[in-house]
Chains A and B, each alone.
Chain A
Amino acid sequence: MPSQRTRAGDVLRFTWGALRGYPTRTLLMLIAMAIGVAAVVVLTSLGEGARRYVSNEFASLGTNLIIVIPGRSETSGLNPTTLMGETPRPLTLRDAMALQRSFHVRRMSPVTVGQAEVSWKSKSREVVIMGTNNELLAIRHWQMAQGRFLPKGELERATPVAVIGKKIRNELFGASRALGQWIRIGDRRFRVIGVMGSEGRSIGVDVQDTILIPVASAMQLFNTPSLFRILVEAKSRSAIEPAKKFALKTLQERHQGIRDVTVITQDAVLSTFDRVLGALTYAVGGIAAISLAVAGILIMNVMLVAVSQRTSEIGLLKALGATPHEIVRLFLAEAMLLSLLGSLLGLLLGQLGSLVVRHSFPEFPAYAPLWATLAAVIVALLTGLVFSLMPARQASRLDAVMALQKR
């Protein structure tokens, strides 16, 4: 006794034949589906690209970074120091050195920033001066073009040496040799010991347009007791939290129990961006998915047309013994096959689209996330299924006699 149920392979073959029998209709639906899926892929790859771009930018700041800023962040509202109208205590070099005494800290770099007149021979200009120590090179993953970076050794020693950015090197020295030359910064003289090689487009500072000098020299130069920032690199990702706690506790102890610094972790900032851009990606993905729903409505209409075009064929199938269920199956299979082919085409187009974006903007990593790709295909298939249910049922309910009379 045969199973009385059309075999899956036969359904597929019959359906494939039907699709090829109406090429215009098939093409139209394929394109509608493909555009929907491609839109999801391209838009989410842009969103994901933005997320990765920001993430990379942050990574270039340094890894496992903790940043200590003098003063309490405004967001924490009222606190004793603002109530008493005191200015926060300065963040000193000794504070910075105290932060090194933790097991969780790998590197520490104090930073102070200012502007000064820089001159060599007859040339001079205003330059951003950054006072720091040897560790900054490693923290920021910078490279030297020539010479060496600031010397290791005591933080409080004001050695008169300078490392200059590439742009400054070109502007001040032109074709002459920069290394070993004495330049004037403000009212002091510094010997050039190195030239920065890094691209150094990291947020806030353009290394190529900066001069780096020992932090003690910079504090003397700008006559300030306070650091602008302390950068702390934790030993690992998991050491970030304990290192942050350690920094807060140590500085509070050193500042007579008053918590007058803000400690931010790069992680926190990054995860905020991550969340925002991640949400954005979901949003554009969702919007693009709406175009899939539009494709679904198109599918419904075209399937309805298909049912009326093939009325006599449906009548015939019934006369040959197709059950209503079989007719539904055949039409659903047709819609599903279309959706599947359409989404494959869409994936191809979408990948091509992101490839073009990546090619045109090499620093922008526009890769569609896997979840979006899968979701697009699943939504496409579901749309195809849902919107072809009604036409399929309509086909299965056709009156066989009437259907056969139609030409």
Chain B
Amino acid sequence: MELETLLAEVSVGHPRPLEIARIVRELDALEREQGIESGVQFRLTTTNLVVVCTEPDQARGLGLLLRELCAEFPCRCLVAILDPQAEPQDMQGWASLTCHPYRRQHMCCEQVILYCPGGQGESIPSLVSATLLPEVPTLSWWRGDPPLGSQFLEQLLELSDRVVFDSADFPVSRLEAVQALVTDRYHQEQAFSDLSWGRLEGWREEIASLFDPPEATECLPALERVEIRFVPGADPLPPQPLLLAGWLASRLGWRRSHLKWAGEDFRARFAGGGGQVELSLRPAWVEGHSGQPLGFLARTREGREFRVDVVRPRRRGGRDAWRNDLEPETARWLEQMGRELSTLSRDVVYQEALESALEMDSFPPEPRLEVVEDLAEAAADLLEARSRASEGPFRVALAGGSTPRRLYSLLAGRDLPWERMRFFLGDERDVPADHPDSNYRMVRETLLEGSPLRPEQIFRWETERGPEQAARACAQALEGEFSGAFPSLDLVLLGLGEDGHTASLFPGTPALHVHDRPAAANPLGGGRGWRLTLTFPVLNLARIALFLVSGRSKSSILRRVLAGEPFPAGRVRAREETLFLADRQAGLGV
């Protein structure tokens, strides 16, 4: 993003550039000026707000939210935008003072904006402590994936009374680190808000109210089966349904069981008070509801059912005419943030729900790296072994590109259980099936032609129908293949781009955020046309993810991905195993 666009996205008022070393004096000057202009003698400030955007993308739309927030909670607000991908340079700063344009002059919002190219924000905490107003609570709000465990985060934490983050912004497995943070005995003075948890309030309210009548409360120990339907996020089992399940388990005393993928749902059995309870978390595709619960159904041993089908978003309490222009989404966000800002105590129910959720979920293992002499040989061995060891259909998503070409030719001569094999393409270019760039053409020439495989065993993206239609057809084909259940492939073969992309999930492209369908048409922007790609929830629900990485040019990106930097390829965690197979050149020095 251009610096100017970035500023426009985050600013509340009219920012003017500021010399970093003079931050506090500049703010005072601004305040004096404003005071003289409007005759303000008495100021009301309720909060210090520190917002950290972990990448420029996280700054989008922030200004709009802050403008609304400042109208309700006059605050001193510091926004730090980290840009880890940029060339390291000096930090730049801006400041503005905006008094609320609606009725009250004395409700002002001072904003400091900091842009930190290339850096990790090490110097930010010192600026924060110099700018905070005394006596009012400080809230720090992480947009994006917070660098848990970093010194930056620790220092900022020390300065904060409440820390706000959204677990939808990072891989669900990071909840373990969140839990460690929240329960750390050195952080007992801070309160934590997970916005994903906050958004569950409506669901919790609806579900709780099912059991309010006394005769229904009595049914709780007699539950036999509880089902939560949900739409996946980047993780097949994202934080919201997981926390909802954790909440039920912690409140109802269900203990010691793990959720396992059972073909169509994640399932766990608990020894409840009056017998066994089966908990089922069932993913479904509903567009526009990524990561959210869709329905709740509980059944007792006597066959009594309790259900919630939709939770309508709560209407905002008041009827203040001047707020009616707000998008419902913004209004809801504002209400939620308002709640977080006005409570300062810790949320014990959240902590217990989180603990139970973590106890239940067996997160996928971290990726492994294996450096091999001959990449194609090694991959073929692995594929052969795994497919032969399996029963029933063995479903594989193939990668395009030059690296796998030799693998496919090798495979054709191997002893695979050809009858049981089903092949998909993880991604495709927007070209006809016989085009030299077509992944399908490459697979056909290498794999199909040399093996006993029948053409119908290879699924093809129907590019001739246009990208959107092709993606929809792919979703239908997957649905057919898995008889309506959520597609869980046995193995996905993936490549790694120098920019950190995998399949056709390129950095900064829309498909990164598509989680409500299995396949997406992905416009790359900048006149680079379209790609077709499977989406994260499908890749992550596969049993095995196998990356093939070859050549010296990939060495640096491989290292950064494995170090946990936020690249699309690093977002892949298959259920049983995620393996980066690299040749010597690529694996060198990693």
A and B associate in one complex: no
**A binding-site residues for B, Cβ under 8 Å:** none
